[in-house]
């Protein structure tokens, strides 16, 4: 398909500061100052094409921050995307990623979802010193450090009463790591998180 650089940004990235990417921004960027990346050519999208191909066109260590919301579950090769994110981020740069939790009842309804996400998903790709359960990294070079992970409890319209109740549950669950891990292991199908939010920093 190729990459469509609507504003000639790729050759000028080295002159921009800070460089913020929003992967899978869709029709409305969360950060108006970010460079929007999406496969569909919405008005707010700056770089149109496959995210992996676009990231491959960006120089090493040239990006300060990357944000994605409900995007990573759609990619076909999650490890490859993570490697490209690690490569383009500067040391000290951050990745904030939001994805539907695997227990979200709407997750399986979407036929374009390829990957499930839980508390530990990014622990397989990063130096995780915050969660108690240890997971293997399968010899992945740990260039990211996990700073925070949150289970987000909410309901979409028109379920306003459920939304308030689930937000209250979220306050308890996210009060400490033990409660997060306890809930995901034993209770997540009783009161399902809507999504999971990760914050990571490139350290190497």
Tens of pLDDT, residues 188-197: 999 999 999 9
What pLDDT, on the 0 to 100 scale, is given for residue 175? 98
**CB distance 67 to 96 below 8 Å:** yes
Predicted TM-score (pTM) of the model is 0.95
Phi-psi category of residue 2: left, alpha or beta, with phi > 0 → left and psi -120 to 50 → alpha: left
Q: What average pLDDT does this structure show over 170-182?
A: 98
pLDDT score recorded for residue 136: 97
Helices 177-186 and 160-173 pack at an angle, to 10 degrees, of 120
Model confidence at 186, pLDDT cuts 50, 70, 90, reads: very high
Alpha carbons 187 and 103: distance in angstroms, whole number: 10
Rg (the chain; Cα; Å): 17
| CATH number for the domain formed by residue range(s) 60-152+194-202 | 3.40.50.150
CA distance 73 to 66: 16
Tell me what percent of the residues of the chain surpass a pLDDT of 90: 96
pLDDT at 156: 86
Q: How many CB atoms lie within 10 A of CB 113?
A: 18
* pLDDT tens digits, 80-94: 999 999 999 999 999
What pLDDT, in 10s, does the model give residues 18-56? 999 999 999 999 999 999 999 999 999 999 999 999 999
* C-beta of residue 57 within 8 angstroms of C-beta of residue 87: no
Parse the chain into domains and list their residue ranges: 60-152+194-202
87 φ, ψ (degrees, to nearest 5): -70, -45
Q: What angle do CA 60, 147, 58 make, to 5 degrees?
A: 15
Mean pLDDT of 132-148: 96
User: Which of 179, 189, 178 has its CA nearest to residue 103?
Assistant: 189
Phi and psi angles of residue 156, each rounded to the nearest 5 degrees, phi first = -90, 165
Q: Compute the distance between CA of residue 170 and CA of residue 183 in angstroms, rounded to an integer.
A: 10
């Amino acid at each position: 398909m190729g990459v469509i650089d609507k504003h000639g940004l790729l050759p000028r990235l080295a002159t921009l500061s800070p460089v913020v990417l929003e992967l899978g921004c869709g029709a409305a960027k969360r950060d108006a100052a970010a460079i929007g990346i999406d496969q569909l050519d919405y008005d707010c999208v700056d770089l149109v094409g496959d995210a992996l191909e676009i990231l491959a066109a960006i120089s090493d260590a040239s990006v300060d921050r990357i944000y994605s919301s409900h995007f990573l579950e759609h990619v076909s090769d999650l490890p490859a995307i993570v490697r490209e994110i690690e490569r383009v981020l500067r040391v000290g740069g951050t990745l904030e990623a939001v994805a539907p939790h695997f227990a979200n009842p709407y997750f399986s309804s979407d036929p374009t979802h390829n990957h499930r996400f839980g508390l530990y998903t990014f622990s397989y790709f990063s130096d995780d010193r915050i969660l108690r359960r240890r997971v293997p990294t399968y010899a992945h070079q740990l260039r990211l450090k996990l700073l925070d992970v949150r289970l987000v409890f909410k309901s979409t319209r028109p379920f306003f009463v459920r939304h308030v109740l689930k937000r209250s549950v979220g306050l308890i669950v996210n009060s400490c790591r033990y409660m997060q891990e306890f809930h995901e292991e034993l209770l997540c199908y009783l009161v399902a998180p809507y999504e999971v939010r990760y914050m990571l920093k490139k350290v190497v």
